[in-house]
């Protein structure tokens, strides 16, 4: 089996997917589960994942995403949608779920709940959305690694009109805002200018600083 780093060397931002190939259900489910298991600040999971296989919907999204063919040629399109606000109800939902799952209710945890409620109340809706959207990017990172581990191609895409995607997917009614999208599938054997080019990353010496 290839190591994670070998898989990361293998992956690239696929520019042309083979529209005839579909990601098997078991691989898709493992990628989705990896995203669900992503660590988030305070364990809030302040974003949700939409898995779009519907061709008509993906065609509409492509039209508001610079006509990028990956969106319709891929097997599945993942949409990372952040909470539009980190509200008291959402915080309490996750803290109550934690208490239920763990079967305990600690004073320290409840004190932290109150601190967090005060923080988000004073920060405002837009700042709370920005905080939630940063957590969605942690999920994106997990998705890219999980897809590579499964031998599935993936391309992170920010080039789209978020408001238009929100309307297409009716995210506003769910109090969500689209942050980033990621097609999943398999690279085409021909027609992708990027596939055979060497991966370019800064050297370890120019990227890593060790502080001992």
Q: What is the pLDDT of residues 18-53, one digit of tens each?
A: 999 999 999 999 999 999 999 999 999 999 999 999
- Report the DSSP beta bridge partners of residue 29: none
Q: Which residue has the tokens 């209710």?
A: 105
pLDDT of residue 79: 98
Q: Give the tens place of pLDDT for each residue, 118-129.
A: 999 999 999 999
Section 56-77 average pLDDT = 98
Is 21 part of any domain?
yes
What strand order describes the sheet that includes 176-185?
47-52, 76-83, 176-185, 153-154
CA–CA separation, 189 and 181 (whole Å) = 23
pLDDT of residue 189: 87
Q: What is the mean pLDDT of the chain?
A: 97
Domain ranges, residue 12? 4-38+47-83+140-207
How many structural domains comprise the chain?
Answer: 1
Residue 1 has pLDDT above 80, yes or no: no
Could you give the percent of the chain with pLDDT greater than 90? 97
**Which of 179, 156, 159 is closest to 11 using CA atoms?**
156
Is 124 part of any domain?
no
Is 108 part of any domain?
no
Provide the pLDDT confidence category of residue 149 given band limits of 50, 70 and 90: very high
pLDDT of residue 73: 98
Is 95 part of any domain?
no
Is 23 part of any domain?
yes
The 10 Å CB-count burial string (b at 16+, else e) for 5-26 is eebbeebbebbbbbeeebbeee
Beta carbons within 10 angstroms of residue 212's beta carbon: 2
Section 125-149 average pLDDT = 98
Section 178-206 average pLDDT = 95
With beta carbons less than 8 A apart as the criterion, state whether 47 and 143 touch.
no
CA–CA separation, 184 and 138 (whole Å) = 17
Provide the pLDDT confidence category of residue 142 given band limits of 50, 70 and 90: very high
pLDDT of residue 120: 97
- CA distances 191 to 17, 29, 74, 157, Å, are 9, 29, 15, 19
Section 131-160 average pLDDT = 98
Is 189 part of any domain?
yes
Is 14 part of any domain?
yes
Q: Looking at residue 161, which CATH number applies to its domain?
A: 3.40.109.10
Is 185 part of any domain?
yes
Q: Give the tens place of pLDDT for each residue, 159-172.
A: 999 999 999 999 99
CA–CA separation, 183 and 50 (whole Å) = 12
Q: Is the pTM of this model over 0.75?
A: yes
């Amino acid at each position: 089996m290839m190591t994670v780093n070998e898989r990361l060397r293998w992956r690239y931002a696929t520019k042309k997917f083979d529209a005839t190939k579909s990601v098997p259900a078991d691989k898709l489910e493992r990628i989705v589960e990896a995203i669900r298991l992503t660590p988030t600040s305070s364990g809030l999971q302040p974003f949700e994942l939409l898995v779009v296989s519907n061709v008509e919907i993906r065609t509409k999204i492509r039209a508001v995403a610079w006509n990028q063919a990956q969106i319709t040629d891929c097997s599945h399109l993942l949409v990372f949608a952040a909470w539009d606000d980190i509200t008291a109800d959402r915080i309490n939902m996750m803290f109550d779920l934690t208490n239920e799952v763990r079967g305990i209710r600690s004073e320290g945890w409840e004190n932290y709940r109150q601190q967090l409620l005060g923080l988000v109340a004073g920060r405002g809706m837009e700042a709370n959305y920005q905080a939630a959207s940063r957590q969605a990017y942690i999920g994106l990172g997990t998705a890219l690694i999980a897809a590579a581990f499964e031998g599935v191609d993936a391309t992170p895409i920010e080039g789209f009109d978020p408001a238009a995607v929100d309307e297409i997917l009716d995210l506003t009614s769910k109090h969500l805002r689209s942050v980033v999208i990621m097609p999943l599938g398999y690279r085409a054997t021909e027609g992708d200018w990027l596939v055979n080019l060497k991966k370019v990353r800064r050297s370890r010496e120019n990227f890593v600083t060790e502080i001992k």
